[in-house]
Amino acid sequence: MSMLTEHQQRAYIGGQAAEARVNLELETDGMTLNIGPQHPATHGTLRIITRLDGEQVISAEPVMGYMHRGYEKLTEVRTYPQINTLINRIDWLSSFANEVPFILAAERLMEIEAPPRAQWIRTIFFELSRIANITLFLGEMGVQLGAITAVFYAFRDREHVLNQIEAATGGRFHPNYDRIGGLKEDLPKGWVAETKSVMAKVRDFCDEMETLVGTNEIFETRTRGIGVIPVEVALGYGLSGANIRASGLDWDLRRDSDTPLAWKEVDWKVWTHPDGDSFARYWVRLQETREATLIVDQLLDGLPAGPIMAKVPRIIKVPPGEAWVATENPLGEMGYYLVSKGDLGPFRVKIRTPSFNNISIVPWVLKGVYVPDVITILASLYFILGDIDR
């Protein structure tokens, strides 16, 4: 060092310092943040292991299976009426919607069809369970972003719908109302008029949510442009339901599949949004809830008279064969692939649940977002843990 001039020395020290500074900037150490498996705002357990660089997520890996109850194996040792009770609990917020595709698959194999009145009532309850499900989402999305008020409103107005379901079926949200060939029993007296007034209340709730949450400036800033999923990526990951409609794809199994349910008899609209961000997903679900109330109103007006049960043998044995029936559940496409060998129970049931595919996009969509947005995106994708793990 003594051979260097003062100027050279300064340059050397400065260079060292600059190099050190550069190195300091380069040496960022990633941090692993574990989200879950339990969070007081959720109903279910999902764990996400995120690798963070500062505030940004480098990678995210969902760990599933905390709610795995072995449905597909359990269906092999149950009879058909027993399975009906069991599958109520896959997606617990819209239990009736879980029953319908399974019953339809069994009916298709048995070559019986429920009478029109039963089909219409099935459709009404399908939409009621959609409302019961999505009202909770509308509130919960607020909670995840820090607006706790929204969920109290959601629980208040959800009770009205649950009351109607309970009045007809006896269960608050595990109705177990569907039977192979029809329904358990007919609607009680005065149910139709009461349900109509409840639908008006739900529409008021939707308006309230739109003004309270949907048009809130903080809410919009935190959701617009966050977690954008282009439609090609969404299709690649097998997203369905409101998640894919929010990416701009006009695809709804209620309209596009040939189930014998009564959606084709009434006038309604499939809502889409071109943006594909978290706000779009919230907005599409809000519109769908309102649309569902209109569907229920029309179905109640045109409810045909007649029996609610087709002729079905006392002991149900489904003839050998295979059937696949999928319907548009509140969360997306839900389907059952039923393989029967002619016994009291099925030989094998493959259950396609929407949340499982919707959650599989999480590693892709969380890459590069900031930590607070992780919660926004997860809330807007809207999954139910029982529906993921089965």
Partner 1 sequence: MGLIERGKLPKPLSHLLGLSRSYSLWVYQWGLACCAIEMGACFGSPRYDVMRLGVIPFPVSPRQADLVVVSGTVTDKLAPALRRLYEQMPEPKYVISMGSCANSGGPYWDSYSVTKGVDQIIPVDVYVPGCPPRPEALLEGIVMLQQRIRDEDMAERWKGDPIVVG
45 versus 257: smaller Cβ distance to partner 1: 45
List the Cα angle 89/93/94 in 5-degree steps.
Answer: 85
Tell me how many residues contact partner 1 (CB under 8 A): 33
Q: Could you please report the per-residue DSSP string of 189-217? A: TTHHHHHHHHHHHHHHHHHHHIIIIIT-H
Q: Where are the alpha helices (DSSP H) in 170-308?
A: 191-209, 217-223, 231-236, 242-245, 253-256, 278-301
Of 111-170, binders to partner 1 (CB under 8 A) are 136, 151-152, 155-156, 158-159
**Token pair 């309270």 in the structure block, residue:** 212
Interacting residue with partner 1 among 33, 147, 174, 316 (CB under 8 A):
174
How many C-beta neighbours within 10 Å does residue 363 have?
A: 16
91 versus 107: smaller Cβ distance to partner 1: 91
Nearest distance from C-beta of residue 153 to partner 1, angstroms? 9
Task: Decide if 385 contacts 374 (C-beta within 8 A).
Answer: no
Nearest distance from C-beta of residue 156 to partner 1, angstroms? 5
Q: Closest Cα to residue 368, out of 360, 359, 377?
A: 377
Classify the C-alpha dihedral 44-50-55-56 as positive or negative.
negative
Q: Is 229 helix (H, G, I), strand (E, B) or coil?
A: coil
Interacting residue with partner 1 among 92, 191, 251, 268 (CB under 8 A):
92
Q: 271-284 burial string, b = 16+ CB within 10 Å, else e?
A: bbbebbbbbbbbbb
Q: Is 52 helix (H, G, I), strand (E, B) or coil?
A: strand
The 314-353 contact track toward partner 1, x by CB under 8 A, reads ----------------------------------------
Q: 43-82 burial string, b = 16+ CB within 10 Å, else e?
A: ebbbbbebebeeeebeebebebeebeeebeeebeebebee
155 versus 364: smaller Cβ distance to partner 1: 155
Nearest distance from C-beta of residue 14 to partner 1, angstroms? 49
88 versus 123: smaller Cβ distance to partner 1: 88
Would you count residue 94 as binding partner 1 (CB under 8 A)? no
Of 184-223, binders to partner 1 (CB under 8 A) are none
Residue 72 CA from chain centroid, whole number: 20
Give every CB contact of residue 45 below 8 A, 6+ residues apart in sequence: 36, 37, 38, 66, 67, 385
Nearest distance from C-beta of residue 330 to partner 1, angstroms? 14
98 versus 243: smaller Cβ distance to partner 1: 98
In the chain, helix, strand, coil percent, each to 5? 50, 15, 35
173 versus 279: smaller Cβ distance to partner 1: 173
Nearest distance from C-beta of residue 293 to partner 1, angstroms? 20
10 versus 73: smaller Cβ distance to partner 1: 73
Nearest distance from C-beta of residue 173 to partner 1, angstroms? 7
Nearest distance from C-beta of residue 331 to partner 1, angstroms? 15
Backbone angles phi, psi at 107, to 5 degrees: -65, -35
Nearest distance from C-beta of residue 70 to partner 1, angstroms? 4
Interacting residue with partner 1 among 283, 351, 386, 388 (CB under 8 A):
386
Backbone angles phi, psi at 350, to 5 degrees: -100, 125
Backbone angles phi, psi at 74, to 5 degrees: -65, -35
Interacting residue with partner 1 among 173, 237, 382, 383 (CB under 8 A):
173
Of 51-90, binders to partner 1 (CB under 8 A) are 65-70, 73-74, 77, 85-86, 89
Footprint on this chain of partner 1 (rule: CB under 8 A): 37-38, 40, 42-45, 65-70, 73-74, 77, 85-86, 89, 92-93, 136, 151-152, 155-156, 158-159, 172-174, 385-386
